[in-house]
A and B are shown apart, each in its own frame.
Chain A
Amino acid sequence: MTMSESGGTYIDNFPAEARVVRSALYSSFLALALGGLFGIIQTLHRTDIYRFIESDMYYTVLTAHGVFLVVTFTIFFLVGVFTWAVTTSLDRGVEDIRFTWLWYGLMTIGTVMAAAAILAGFTDSIDMSADVLFTFYAPLQAHWLFYLGLVVFVVGTWLAGADWFRSWWAWKQENPDERIPLPTFMVLTTMLMWYIATIGIAVSILVFLLPWSLGIIDSVNPTLTRTLFWFWGHPVVYFWLLPAYMMWYVMLPKISGGKLFSDPLARVVFILFLLLSTPVGIHHQYLDPGIAEGFKFIAMTNTMFLLLPSLLTAFTVVASMEHGARQRGGTGYFGWLKALPWRDPVFAGMALAGLMFAAGGFSGMINAGMNINYLVHNTLWVPGHFHLTVGTASALTFMAATYWLLPQLTGKALWNRSVALVQVVLWFLGMTFMSNSMHRAGLLGIPRRTAEPQYQGFEFEAGVGSVAELDFQLALGGALLAISIVLFLANVVGTAFNGRSDDLPANEFAETLSGPEDSPQVLDNLKLWTAIAVVLVILAYSFPLMSIVDRGGLYGPDISPFPVSIETLSLLAFTLEQYTTAAIATTGEFVQTTLTGVIR
């Protein structure tokens, strides 16, 4: 299943698209540079190794670090790599390149707006700030420009999704009997998840936070906006992760020298993410008062089942790597590991990222455990966990993938492969130190998101070693990561200034051992899976949301809740009923089709 008949690089086949993808990637790397800079400032500040900002400014730095890295860096990379995946796997350009530039432009404008609001916090001369951190929990309030920027950014991503669906629909007209190519399938399911997830943030900002920051409404219900945040806040972590998964599925097997083990299972995995990513957000609120234990339990169960697609991915990725290694002459139970192309930074980066993700997965299981979570909630353990997931599984995979993509997008050879290899290994090392010490510190009860975790009245006690050692380890890790980012950016800039090369591999992705023909057609029925996903979200969220509105009022305790909330409740109930009926009808229809398909 390879693509371009021409066999050229991406820029040869899609020069116009290559420009957009390149722009998206460069935007992403700019955010990485800024976010990384803020990251090292923070690391040195909170460990009390070098402090040159006031501690209250730490929170401006932290907001910028969070927003630039987990929103701008990751999502700009995502739109770039998804555009590459759709155009490559459908072997057709986008339908209208002006539309593509439009969504890229919206995302950029949104970023600039939010960034302006955040960075204005550094100076008192502008009466604007957004020191609300990435989670912007009300009643903490940011300048309205921050919220509006996020809205514009998200609308940009919605249009990006529309662009890819448009390509797929056009392709389907011409290829009515073909299965959706795997990379496109992954892009489409991820975007469907995103459309469902962003409902939460859209309602939270448009109905509550933006009017509130503009002074149109007086108050908000903090539990409600917090719950709506996590409605989006958990699936967004899969939005960061799924582009990395996609690269592990469609790129890593090829780089390893083999084929993807199973196309059907890859589809199943992405469907599971579409279904289960959203109805789990309440697991971030295990410690919140005002939410019944039962709702927390449901979220916990869903979360545990969400382990399944990740565990399946672990299997498929390792099996594909082993296949590649054996094609390269590897033998033995573990001996094949030696035959893998470790000197290739694309491979080494992705493999190391996958390995760290396994560790992150284990600490994630702890977080998901409803009662054990009380020990670690909001301690440094949590950033320790997500620096392994978004900070390594996603970030390191993106960087490794860049070493393959950048030559495709520019037609220029990578500036320096040895520097690239050192860079990915440094990331692995730095993250080992940093996330290890963060996990350890979290177990001692040291809180996250704190400028100075050094208190007057008591001291944290370490079981083995000391808090000072953990601080040193954390700072050392942070420093290695900062160096790694510098090396990465140097390679990107060096490549951009290289001359054109004729000696580049063709733009292809991995073939499969077991192709789509081995899987039932129903896997490609996106309407069915979307309908089920919507039903699951309604089941998981309708009652908690109704109960929160009922308790605290739609607009908080200040405004008397009754006329609004009763209306809303019945409206919610009505919507719920409608959706369920519609979903059941669609499900029935599709089950029927599937059954006839299978029987035949």
Chain B
Amino acid sequence: MKIHTYEKLWLGAAMVLIVALIATITYGAVGLGISMVDDEEETIDPDALDEDDRFNDPRVEHVGENEYEAYVVARTFMYQPDPIEVPANSEVTFYVTSTDVIHSFSVVGTNINTMVIPGEVSSMTAEFDEPGEYGVVCNEYCGSGHHTMEGQLHVVPEDEFDMTELEVEGDDEVAEDDEVTLNVSVENGMLDDLETTIEAEIGEETFEEDVTVEGDSTYETTITVDAADLGEGDHDWSVTVDDYEDSGTVTVVDDLEDDGGDDDE
């Protein structure tokens, strides 16, 4: 076959370009460790996500020092959880699945970008060095409300980040001869112990308790005060743990309407 010299040169240069392109991508994958979304995750039943440990409660979990996992569900036309909150200086693995049609999970301005296919779980690991706020968009057409499908990813400064959850259950109405009780539970989602102080205020009374909540566990305590000390009327209460606060009002009544006096000793 007759090939002109210039053609041969061009052919050679073209091959060099092609091989170089493949080489740079291979280097990216092997040398820099940029990995692809692939088939390493097991398939999942998209109609039974509520029976799945990871996706029945979409959330962020602390799984190791500076390591977090985010379980995200995409559905028409929203993401759960929203916002996703992670600390700076962390390594986060996102697990994303869909309950209905094909979506995407694309963090704007980053290369965190994946298709989300019902029946499959996409996993990607990303490092967040700096705090910042990112938008999350669905860039795969998913139906008439596609353009409204968005979420947020908040990377908060490391020292402001915790996974503490405070929950307080208090009585609404208490007889004057009874006790007002507040059941306080402090959940620590981090793996490290949480040293903190539970501060409570009921009417004029104040309480303080230094506690250590072990990693990945919940500390429960009960605060009681004699209703008689508060006196008849409405009393505001509040419980504070770090930046979290729960509050409510309890009413101390003279005597409960139809109480037979048998609800307490």
Contacts and interface: CB of A to CB of B under 8 A. Distances in A.
A440 interface: no
B141 interface: yes
A369 interface: yes
Interface string A452-480: 11011111110000000000000000000
Given A312-B10, A449-B141, A458 B102 contact: no
Given A289-B38, A289-B120, A456 B150 contact: yes
A557 B141 contact: no
Given A455-B150, A552-B43, A289 B121 contact: yes
B39 interface: yes
A447 B21 contact: no
Classify chain A: how many residues form its interface, as a range: 35 or more
B159 to A, nearest CB: 24
B63 interface: no
B114 A287 contact: yes
A490 interface: no
Contact of A461 (B1, B101, B109): B109
A5 to B, nearest CB: 29
B172 to A, nearest CB: 36
B189 interface: no
Contacts of B59: none
A378 B104 contact: yes
B29 A370 contact: yes
B29 to A, nearest CB: 6
Interface stretch (B12-20, B223-231, B257-265): B12-20
B36 A293 contact: yes
A222 B117 contact: yes
Nearest to A291: B39
Contact of B37 (A55, A289, A305): A289
Interface string B90-133: 00000000001110101011011111111111110000000001
A518 B1 contact: yes
A377 B106 CA distance: 9
A59 B145 CA distance: 10
Contacts of A223: 117, 119-120
A221 B119 contact: yes
A296 B36 contact: yes
Given A223-B120, A519-B1, A551 B39 contact: yes
Interface string A47-62: 0000000011011000
Contacts of B36: 286, 293, 296, 370-371
B147 A55 contact: yes
A289 B100 contact: no
Contacts of B144: 56, 59, 131
Contact of A448 (B7, B102, B139, B143): B139
Contacts of B1: 264, 518-520
Interface stretch (A133-141, A352-360, A572-580): A133-141
A304 B35 contact: no
B18 A289 contact: no
B169 interface: no
A300 B39 contact: no
Interface string A260-292: 011011000000000000000000011111111
B108 A557 contact: no
B260 to A, nearest CB: 55
A289 B115 contact: yes
B45 interface: yes
B28 interface: yes
B236 interface: no
A169 interface: no
B38 A293 contact: yes
A46 to B, nearest CB: 9
A137 B103 CA distance: 11
B139 A450 contact: yes
Nearest to B151: A457
Given A222-B119, A370-B25, A371-B36, A451 B146 contact: yes
B4 A261 contact: yes
Contacts of A444: 108-109
A424 B28 CA distance: 41
A321 B147 CA distance: 46
A288 B115 CA distance: 5
A137 B114 contact: no
B6 interface: yes
B152 interface: yes
A265 B122 CA distance: 44
Interface residues of B, number: 67
A331 interface: no
Nearest to B11: A312
Given A133-B141, A289-B117, A518-B1, A551 B151 contact: no
A445 B137 contact: yes
Given A289-B39, A375-B113, A458-B152, A450 B118 contact: no
B39 A460 contact: no
Interface string A420-463: 00000000000000000000000011011111110111111100
Contact of A292 (B38, B43, B111, B133): B38
Contact of B145 (A56, A315, A445): A56
Nearest to A445: B108
Nearest to B114: A287
B34 interface: yes
B41 interface: yes
Contacts of A445: 106, 108-109, 137
B106 A288 contact: no
Contacts of B137: 445, 447, 455
A307 B115 contact: no
A261 B10 CA distance: 14
B116 to A, nearest CB: 8
B71 to A, nearest CB: 14
B22 interface: yes
Contact of A315 (B10, B121, B147, B150): B10
B114 A289 contact: yes
A379 interface: yes
A285 B118 CA distance: 15
A53 to B, nearest CB: 12
Contacts of B133: 458
A261 B38 CA distance: 45
Interface in B204-243: none
Given A371-B25, A445-B137, A552-B120, A289 B17 contact: no
Interface in A365-381: 365, 368-372, 374-375, 377-379
A289 B122 contact: yes
B170 interface: no
A228 to B, nearest CB: 14
Nearest to A133: B141
Nearest to B118: A222
A181 B111 CA distance: 49
Given A450-B139, A455-B137, A262 B25 contact: no
A311 interface: yes
Contacts of A581: none
Contacts of A582: none
Contacts of B123: 289
B140 interface: yes
Contacts of B29: 293, 297, 370-371
The 5 closest A-B pairs by CB, nearest first: A458-B135, A447-B139, A56-B144, A378-B139, A445-B108
Given A288-B37, A460-B135, 8 more contacts: A287-B115, A289-B41, A290-B120, A293-B35, A297-B29, A378-B104, A378-B140, A452-B148
Interface of B: 1-4, 6-7, 10-11, 14-15, 17-18, 21-22, 24-25, 28-29, 34-39, 41, 43, 45-47, 100-102, 104, 106, 108-109, 111-123, 133-135, 137-148, 150-152
8 contacts: A59-B141, A262-B4, A296-B36, A312-B10, A371-B34, A452-B148, A460-B108, A551-B43
